[in-house]
Structure 1
Amino acid sequence: MEPDDWNGSEALPRLSAGGEALSLWLGDTMRHYDVHYARDGQELCRFRWGAEPDGDSSPLAGLLSGLSLTSGLPSWEALESGLPSFDEWKVHALILVERITGVRLTRQWLSREHTRFVQGPHSRDARPGGDLWL
């Protein structure tokens, strides 16, 4: 996972150097749902709910089988159109992440302690005195 702000766009390619990295953003407030995929230091594609994929998703072709990550509509409209609702899209995005990483994001997995690297400074990281930490 990576920051969901301007810092994220540069972090993903660096995180993928010599391998693969994913960024999954589920922003329920504004209905912004994105999966970004990078390999060997380069972002290859982005899946966004309600839109066609950006970039080259061909490296993931075999992993996308049975998933609807292209376009979507709100649940009430999806019923009539046959397109995935945003809830279905989120499930399919998590399945894709699991297929790529081999890790299922369960409650148990999320509740365990994990290594993290904090990228900063960011205004939300300001101490009460106003100083940013690095």
Structure 2
Amino acid sequence: MPTESEAHYTDLSKIGEFGDLTITWCRAASADSVIGALGVAVFGVSSNDLSGLIIESIKDLMDDRLPRFILLVEESPWFLLVEYSRSRTLEALELLSGDEAICMTANEFLARGDLHYARGGMHLCTFVYEGDVRGDTAAIEDHLDGLFNLHERYADMDKGLVPGEQLLDGWRVHALILMERITGIRLSVELFNRKSALYRFREWDDPPQGADIGN
């Protein structure tokens, strides 16, 4: 029988294209500091939601280019960054983790996922679906109770849960639960549907800054 949290995140994971999202939480002083840590130039900012992020990112993929968009949702003191089919936030995780950051990457087609935790500018540990835990989990050990699907060593033998037989869906659900335990914030459809800042980053073929780019 799934717990209430497991049932919630199982339902949330059924959102279209969810399996190709990179989801990152970071604790920071401001949105500007978060975007600055990514080390990219901003081309424009609009108001949109998860659906808008996915639509714009798929347009880029259809044009044979990597998606240029990140959705930034503020839940002070935390910021949620969401990308589709790209992982800029993972590349900048140590810079995003001046206070604390946790990032889940996924690839539905390849049936793989990773969960990364960083604090104080240091990448402390990584949970790999069907792989080893890398690094030191001591900083978040208190949050791992019952999250057997993140790694076989957390299997709950008393409940008959056998190490090594977890599915990606179960792994992802437990990764999301860990994110909630660390941040104290529950991801939800309502949060994803909130109109937030959709950043579009500058690429080599964009018009110069200050040029009239139209609509």
Please list every run of 5 or more consecutive structure 1 residues that lacks an aligned counterpart in the other structure: 72-79
Deviations 1:3-40 (A, max 9, x none): 665744431111111x1111111211111211111101
Give the TM-score normalised by the residue count of structure 2.
Answer: 0.48
Q: For 1:62, give the aligned amino acid.
A: D
Q: Give SS of 1:59's match.
A: helix
Superposition RMSD in Å: 2.9
How many residues align structurally?
119
Is residue 174 of structure 2 the alignment partner of residue 92 of structure 1? yes
Please list every run of 5 or more consecutive structure 2 residues that lacks an aligned counterpart in the other structure: 1-23, 25-80, 153-160, 210-215
Counterpart of 2:34 in structure 1 is: none
| Structure with bigger RCO (C-alpha 8 Å, 6+ apart) | 2
Deviation at 1:84, TM superposition (A): 1.9
Deviations 1:98-123 (A, max 9, x none): 111111111011111234655654xx
Counterpart of 2:106 in structure 1 is: 26
Match among 114, 130, 139 for residue 59 of structure 1: 139
- Name the structure with the higher strand share: 2
Percentage of identical aligned residues: 33
Counterpart of 2:96 in structure 1 is: 15
Q: For 2:173, give the aligned amino acid.
A: V
Residues 115 and 128 of structure 2 are in contact (CA less than 8 Å); yes or no, is this contact kept in structure 1? yes
Give the TM-score normalised by the residue count of structure 1.
Answer: 0.74
Q: Give SS of 1:95's match.
A: helix
Q: Give SS of 2:190's match.
A: helix
Is residue 39 of structure 2 the alignment partner of residue 39 of structure 1? no
Q: For 2:174, give the aligned amino acid.
A: H
Match among 129, 133, 147 for residue 49 of structure 1: 129
Give the distance between the partners of 1:61 and 1:116, measured in 2 at CA. 34
Give the distance between the partners of 1:41 and 1:113, measured in 2 at CA. 30
Q: Give SS of 2:147's match.
A: coil
Q: For 1:44, give the aligned amino acid.
A: L
Is residue 186 of structure 2 the alignment partner of residue 104 of structure 1? yes
